[in-house]
Structure 1
């Protein structure tokens, strides 16, 4: 059984997609062990509560220094004994010690086709604003492992989504979530739970 801990800052729509996939059996051999947010008002914590999943808020604002937060944050993650950590719209920098401890066991969903529109400053609507400003014809989402860089870890899955005439950042964001993010994040977790994902020379290999 793959123990999954989900880290989320906001509404938790990707969290809900994972919950639904686990509940339906679309993602097998997987349990969501807990949800951690840096925002006590995040609706994601309510989603966790509604589904009987332990949820906790740990905010950098509650600690005198970022170093102290990082220690307590890692302790909270460790207590949930994750086999896999899923960043589902988590807007806090992951401590280097956590990346090292959970090497190739932390994944992130990013709302673009990496390496386009990714890295520092590209999150939420900003990604879609930049994509539309550039005039791209195809957007999408990427699930990747987390390393010490920003959106630089090995890519697991990607899914393209057409940009339509008249799109706004909001309509494009919604379509990317519905057609890409909510599909490939659960799929990636399922592949990992099935033992089909490995990393070699910085690239992901998926066994048939």
Structure 2
């Protein structure tokens, strides 16, 4: 078998919605070789003012803005549940096609999609086309498996700590499936609460752990992808 370092790099697409500090951690880790033999081929954001795009520009990584409302899938202020559901399905399907198209070059099609602070819950229309093509999708979530799924996880855990219901929370990187934050964990880290710590301090501490865990988990999955490639 050829030396794995002689293989083409594993192609990673990152999706982010905001500041992009976890995206920056991935950029730095790829550059330092902590994520082996890999390349970030593109960034997708769904918020026009996401600072992650500035990070992408600095690193020379192409990016695109693709938004549910801005893309014309959903009228601003629409409340009809059926229309919202249909719009989300069309958006997911369109985004899946963009991912599979690889920016017009099939050689740029990602092998791994990393959701790094991506504020949109995907449905079948996105996940199934990628699964058929063998593209893995992983997500960072600031809670332990089967605890505090969905938005506001840190705040809800902190409230339970203040109420004496728990002494720890955590973070995980997991595979993305239809059930929100319920996919198989890749890496998990427990984080103990500290007496006297305020929510803002806890959030800062958790974010520091997130930067480490998302790199470690991405590296683990990249190694698996590289090892699973057929021998030449």
Report the TM-score range of the alignment, normalised by the length of the smaller protein: 0.7 to 0.9
The TM-score normalised by the length of structure 2 is 0.77
The TM-score normalised by the length of structure 1 is 0.86
1:190 paired to 2:219: yes
Q: 4+ residue stretches of structure 1 with deviation over 3 A?
A: none
The structure with more radius of gyration: 2
Q: Where do 5+ consecutive residues of structure 2 fail to align?
A: 1-8, 75-86, 103-108, 228-232
Q: Where do 5+ consecutive residues of structure 1 fail to align?
A: 199-208
**Counterpart in the other structure of 1:75:** 97
More strand by share: 1
Query: Once the 2 structures are TM-superposed, how far is the Cα of residue 68 of structure 1 from its aligned partner?
Result: 3.5
Q: Distance in 2 between matches of 1:68 and 1:152?
A: 23
**Counterpart in the other structure of 2:158:** 132
Q: Distance in 2 between matches of 1:166 and 1:28?
A: 40
Over 3 Å counting, the alpha-carbon distance change for 1:132 and 1:61 in structure 2 is same
Q: Distance in 2 between matches of 1:157 and 1:127?
A: 17
Q: Distance in 2 between matches of 1:78 and 1:137?
A: 43
Over 3 Å counting, the alpha-carbon distance change for 1:153 and 1:94 in structure 2 is same
Query: Once the 2 structures are TM-superposed, how far is the Cα of residue 75 of structure 1 from its aligned partner?
Result: 2.4
1:166 paired to 2:196: yes
Q: Distance in 2 between matches of 1:28 and 1:197?
A: 9
Deviations 1:132-172 (A, max 9, x none): 11113222210000011100111110011221112222211
Contact conserved, 1:161 with 1:175, CA < 8 A, in 2?
Answer: no
Contact conserved, 1:139 with 1:176, CA < 8 A, in 2?
Answer: no
After superposition, the CA RMSD in angstroms is 1.9
When the two structures are aligned, how many residues end up with a matched partner? 192
Q: Distance in 1 between matches of 2:192 and 2:160?
A: 14
Counterparts in 2 of 1:29-178, with a 5 A limit? 29-62=37-70, 63-65=72-74, 66=87, 67-80=89-102, 81-103=109-131, 105-118=136-149, 122-123=150-151, 126-135=152-161, 136-178=166-208
Contact conserved, 1:7 with 1:89, CA < 8 A, in 2?
Answer: yes
